[in-house]
Structure 1
Amino acid sequence: MKQKFSSAWENFLQRRYAVRLGRRYALAAASVVLMSVIGCSQVNGSTSVFAQSSPPRSESPMPQKSVLPNTKLITANTKFGFKLFSEILKQDSDRNIFISPTSVAIALDMTYNGAGGSTQQAMAKALELQGLSVPEINSSNAALKVLLENPDPQVQLSIANSLWANQDVSIKPDFLKRTQDFYQAKVTNLNFKDASAPGIINNWVNEKTSGKINKIVENIEPDQVLFLLNAVYFKGKWNNEFDKQQTAQYPFYITSGSQKQHPMMSQKGKYKYYENEQFQAVSLPYGKEAKISFYVFLPKQNYNLKSFYQNLNAENWEKWMSQFSQQEGFIRLPRFKMDYEVTLNNALKVLGMGEAFTNQADFSGIGENLAISDVKHKTFVEVNEEGTEAAATTSVGIVALSLPVNEPFRMIVDRPFFCAIRDNQTGSILFMGSIVDPQA
């Protein structure tokens, strides 16, 4: 096991210095957890955030003794991701959706370090973290970051975290140390009353997402104490690029039944493919090593995306992932580009962590009398002939009816579909999305 991690770490160091390819496409996501004081209470209003600890490092190194990520954390993130996606669908079913379960989970895992009592229990249930200790969660997130980042010379994946604290507030040193040691968070003491404060935070987001997301904090309310941010940036090149000469206008049938002419990319080749009576699914890899893929799930003509989502959960996802096999085939896929933004408060409350947003919240591991005010999420995605910015999630599978290997499949993605970007070596779902109209 030690040899395996050592090899992964050495590969990481080598790839970090690999020559970056020219910009082809980028996928970025940012999550922010906003902490605020409840009622009229104050949090050591006269002391600095760092008064109880030595000056923090701007960027801490990874822990010296890291470990391979606990597979329980990856399983938890997958379950949480699909639950969260399902709740978002209830409020946004008629428009395109694109989220990063990885980004949201990391931001909330950092926050979880400061939760106590029934608030911690509620968050553990919502995030599917039961059975995992806080040290296990932290060490696994640290190891997962190492394995996920820079998986291939032609693929760039970076994960960044930061903590922004009001200079008038005291934060417990143990909490600060964990966010730095395990999440490599940039910790900053900021004057929240200064009009420039939101811009400073947003500049960090803009930098860490390579300009794809330029704002996550609109303004800072007077009772605001702390911002915990995560940013994920993905830039990858198809293992087999689409020929731009083959791109042409074809109809795309939106949910209402009407059609729109839209640029569609076409390609023949050998792909990992799976089909059953309800949907077709294909895996389109990035880079030479194909460690990360873009998955497309297309409901068949007599089904629709809504019926597919009724079967979309972590258990079925794992089943479907195990049933992909190499097949010759033809795929036609729409080019698309979109921004997505959502506030996750309601979805997280439905998932069971509503207490974290109330005056009953216990974040005593961070400071006194704190609660979450907002959890916001933004994403950007673009899919074109050279590469991807896209989210894909797995499909519905009741009866597996894969086509014979010697019979090429045809997959014409000309109607609403589900997609996901998955790290194949760890099983982590980086992004997932519902595309109902590529022109929206």
Structure 2
Amino acid sequence: MKTSRMGSRVGVILIAAIVALSALGCSGAATSTPSPKSTVKQENVEMVNPKLVAANTRFGFKLFSEILKKDTQKNVFVSPSSVAIALSMTYNGASGETQQAMANALQLQGLSLSELNQANANLKTNLEKGDPSVTVAIANSLWARNGVSFNSEFIKRNQTFYDAEIKTLDFNSAAAPREINGWVNEKTNGKISEIIDQIRPDQVMFLINAIYFNGKWTNEFDKNQTEARSFYLANGKEKQHPLMQQKGKYRYYENDQFQAVSLPYGNEQMSLYLFLPSQKSSLSDFHKTLNSENWQTWMGQFSQRQGSVQIPRFKLSYDIELKEALSALGMAVAFDKSKADFSRLSDVETNINQVKHKTFVEVNEEGTEAAAVTSVGITVTSVQIEEPPFDMVVNRPFFCAIRDNKTGEILFMGSIINPNL
């Protein structure tokens, strides 16, 4: 039976997720140094497996729903992609009940381990090279304690399919947290400077994913048109806040419950989707309908339409410990030090102790800088009926998502109840 625990502090660039593993009996473990980076070439990297995108979409909305149960009165902004990638790296070390529980939580039905790994490699390449005018940078790393033996196949798969940087450190050194945080700061372009404040004696590994996004609007907002206007909070209070505005032709959809618009970046492969609940509804009501099935339906309903948009300029940081949410999704066994089975990771018994997530996003007249996950393909109707121009004023709590329109991957999603600067 295991006797150790683990803890960590983590984050993401625009969004990053970190998984910390702890083990028992570290003093008796054999010393090994992870092997050098594999040179195995990936084939068909341009082809993204739709099963992975569908799995990430289901996982993303289920995770978001669990998070909202905890943070109901604050802005929420997460990157389900970052969390999914970090956990997929860890999944390579799981066996038995633990492996099945993680597969269920990550919605990986129908995907073998080899298919999952190859699909993640292809998705990374596709997202990073999809639009030369939009920056998407996905970085992975694995930080191991000196003197602890780890399975060579586990290390190799993370190098080969996740392009993970493998580092062995003296976790007892005061310089270790600084080195890990320096990597995070670099990969997030300075938006997230710290993930780990200290390393506990029982911590033997950190798996970290960082995603950085920077996209310029296809059509930038004119700063001279930005004006301080009323924004109505969920509690009925009113505040003055800068609203950016422009007119044009957009992919747009509305029904009795909400208005929604797609604001594209660069060559329009990626977009910011904004969902504004109707006056007779609310953001909390919208959350009740937010799931992967409805999302796919809504994505197919967007069509080109002339109109005007007013959206708030905002900037925020968010962080959360995901152990409770992931346990609710079915992978509690992975956190249980007496039941977790990561025998494919190391001969030393280990469990996941923490999964922390941290994000940053800034939306202004030029574009968006953030960390996030995106999914879902775009369907264009062949026949469109001309409709009168719409007017969408985002002056109350709203939902947003950054989505890759080519693959359908959702990089980021959030509920903004009070935009801040």
Q: How does 1:400-411 map to 2 (within 5 A)?
A: 405-411=386-392
Distance 1:89 1:354, change over 3 A: same
Distance 1:69 1:392, change over 3 A: closer
What residue in structure 2 maps to residue 294 of structure 1? Answer: 272
Alignment partner of 1:230 out of 202, 206, 209: 209
Q: Matched residues in 2 for 1:309 and 1:138: separation?
A: 31
Q: Matched residues in 1 for 2:305 and 2:359: separation?
A: 32
Q: Matched residues in 2 for 1:231 and 1:62: separation?
A: 23
What residue in structure 2 maps to residue 357 of structure 1? Answer: 335
Q: How does 1:99-118 map to 2 (within 5 A)?
A: 99-118=78-97
Q: Is the 8 A contact 2:13 2:184 kept in 1?
A: no
Q: Matched residues in 1 for 2:328 and 2:344: separation?
A: 24
> How far 1:364 moved relative to its partner?
0.4
> How far 1:253 moved relative to its partner?
0.5
Distance 1:27 1:272, change over 3 A: farther
What residue in structure 1 maps to residue 41 of structure 2? Answer: 63
Counterpart of 2:334, as a letter, is A
Counterpart of 1:42, as a letter, is G
What residue in structure 2 maps to residue 383 of structure 1? Answer: 363
Q: Is the 8 A contact 2:139 2:210 kept in 1?
A: yes
> How far 1:43 moved relative to its partner?
4.1
What residue in structure 2 maps to residue 269 of structure 1? Answer: 248
What residue in structure 1 maps to residue 8 of structure 2? Answer: none
> How far 1:205 moved relative to its partner?
0.6
- Aligned CA-pair RMSD: 1.8
Q: Matched residues in 2 for 1:114 and 1:27: separation?
A: 25
Alignment partner of 1:31 out of 17, 21, 41: 17
What residue in structure 1 maps to residue 412 of structure 2? Answer: 431
> How far 1:219 moved relative to its partner?
1.1
What residue in structure 1 maps to residue 352 of structure 2? Answer: 372
Q: Is the 8 A contact 2:13 2:192 kept in 1?
A: no
Alignment partner of 1:130 out of 91, 94, 109: 109
What residue in structure 1 maps to residue 300 of structure 2? Answer: 322
What residue in structure 1 maps to residue 127 of structure 2? Answer: 148
> How far 1:44 moved relative to its partner?
6.4
Moved more, 405-414 or 144-153: 144-153
Q: Is the 8 A contact 2:81 2:373 kept in 1?
A: no
> How far 1:65 moved relative to its partner?
2.5
Cα distance per residue 1:296-355 (max 9 Å; x no partner):
000000000011010000000000001100000000000000000000000000000000
Q: How does 1:203-218 map to 2 (within 5 A)?
A: 203-218=182-197
What residue in structure 2 maps to residue 414 of structure 1? Answer: 395
Alignment partner of 2:237 out of 239, 258, 266: 258
Q: Is the 8 A contact 1:45 1:168 kept in 2?
A: no
> How far 1:408 moved relative to its partner?
0.3
What residue in structure 1 maps to residue 179 of structure 2? Answer: 200
Distance 1:27 1:389, change over 3 A: farther
Q: How does 1:40-189 map to 2 (within 5 A)?
A: 41-43=24-26, 45=28, 47-50=30-33, 55-57=35-37, 60=38, 63-67=41-45, 68-189=47-168
TM-score, length of structure 1 as denominator length:
0.88
Q: Matched residues in 1 for 2:156 and 2:270: separation?
A: 32
Paired residue secondary structure (1:200) = helix
Q: Is the 8 A contact 1:392 1:433 kept in 2?
A: no
Q: Is the 8 A contact 2:16 2:357 kept in 1?
A: yes
Q: Matched residues in 2 for 1:118 and 1:46: separation?
A: 24
**Does residue 239 of structure 1 match 2:222?**
no
What residue in structure 2 maps to residue 7 of structure 1? Answer: none
Counterpart of 2:368, as a letter, is T
Q: Matched residues in 2 for 1:319 and 1:63: separation?
A: 37
Moved more, 351-360 or 384-393: 384-393
TM-score, length of structure 2 as denominator length:
0.91
Distance 1:296 1:309, change over 3 A: same
> How far 1:154 moved relative to its partner?
1.7
Counterpart of 2:271, as a letter, is S
Q: Matched residues in 2 for 1:49 and 1:225: separation?
A: 13
Q: Matched residues in 2 for 1:62 and 1:142: separation?
A: 12
> How far 1:48 moved relative to its partner?
2.6
Q: Is the 8 A contact 2:373 2:409 kept in 1?
A: no
Q: Matched residues in 2 for 1:379 and 1:64: separation?
A: 30
Moved more, 340-349 or 146-155: 146-155
Any stretches of 5+ residues in structure 2 without a counterpart? 1-11, 376-383
Q: Matched residues in 2 for 1:249 and 1:112: separation?
A: 48
Paired residue secondary structure (2:178) = helix
> How far 1:389 moved relative to its partner?
3.2
Q: Is the 8 A contact 1:295 1:393 kept in 2?
A: no
Any stretches of 5+ residues in structure 1 without a counterpart? 1-25, 395-402
Counterpart of 1:437, as a letter, is N
Q: Matched residues in 1 for 2:254 and 2:366: separation?
A: 26
Distance 1:165 1:393, change over 3 A: closer
Counterpart of 2:174, as a letter, is A
Number of aligned pairs? 398
Counterpart of 2:25, as a letter, is Q
Q: Is the 8 A contact 1:393 1:433 kept in 2?
A: no
Distance 1:327 1:389, change over 3 A: same
Counterpart of 2:191, as a letter, is K
> How far 1:47 moved relative to its partner?
3.0
